[in-house]
Amino acid sequence: MELRLDKLRPIKMNKKGFEDFTSLFFALAIIFGISIFVIILSYAYGQIQPKINEGLTSSKSVEAGINVTDILQKTDNSIGRFNILFPLLIIGVFGFVLVTALLGRSHPAFLFIGLIVLAVALILAAIYSNVYQEISESANFSSTESDFNIMSLFLDNLPIVILILFVAIAIILYAKSGGQGQGI
């Protein structure tokens, strides 16, 4: 029996299962990035609001009928709504990650690689959670942190949120594979 090397084809592995687990990092980056952006935006607006109020009040004519205080109050309320809408961001990120998990084929063996990814993601989530807590409790941002209690709740428990997302991805990937190897 002769072994012909030109007839051998390389085995193609579907790495989609691995890519689904790495979407945990995408979820981490989006949740952490938007929360830090909102806290900084709220702080910056709180710093410049008195100056804007003074500048607009002194520059308008009396007959203009513009209520500067009302405009600035509406702007402040809009920034505060990020707190209320943050759970919708979490749901949207979860939905995006779970839909990408539904679109791919995987093999149950990728669960072991996923556990390694989970460990790294949990370490990063704990670090991000601590960084958010340090920033929000600093002297400059302590006044804005109380305005974003819902966002703080999610970020204080970010490792748990990522663990829940991992479990959901693992369930979807295992259910799609039917418990058998389809992805190799």
Instruction: For residue range 147-170, list pLDDT tens digits in order.
Output: 788 888 899 999 999 999 888 888
> If you average pLDDT over every residue of the chain, what do you get?
77
> What are the tens digits of pLDDT across the range 165-182?
888 888 887 777 665 544
Q: Helices 158-177 & 16-59, crossing angle to 10 degrees?
A: 140
Report whether pLDDT(99) > 50. yes
Residues above pLDDT 70, as percent of the chain: 73
Q: Residue 54: which region, alpha, beta or left (left: phi > 0; alpha: psi -120 to 50)?
A: alpha
Question: Which position has the higher pLDDT, 63 or 93?
Answer: 93
Q: What pLDDT, on a 0 to 100 scale, did the predictor assign at position 166?
A: 87
Band (pLDDT 50/70/90 cuts) for residue 88 is very high
The two structure tokens encoding residue 169: 């991805």
- CA 149/CA 145 separation, integer angstroms: 7
0.75 exceeded by pTM: no
- CA 32/CA 132 separation, integer angstroms: 8
- CA 165/CA 56 separation, integer angstroms: 47
Q: How far is CA 110 from CA 114, 125, 171, in A?
A: 6, 21, 12
Q: What pLDDT, on a 0 to 100 scale, did the predictor assign at position 108?
A: 65
> In the block, which residue shows the tokens 């090397």?
5
Band (pLDDT 50/70/90 cuts) for residue 142 is confident
The two structure tokens encoding residue 61: 């004519």
The two structure tokens encoding residue 55: 């500048």
The two structure tokens encoding residue 113: 């690689």
Q: What pLDDT, on a 0 to 100 scale, did the predictor assign at position 105?
A: 65
Q: Hey, how many other C-beta atoms are within 10 angstroms of the C-beta on 172?
A: 19
Question: Which position has the higher pLDDT, 65 or 100?
Answer: 100
- CA 78/CA 113 separation, integer angstroms: 42
Q: How far is CA 132 from CA 42, 155, 183, in A?
A: 15, 7, 39
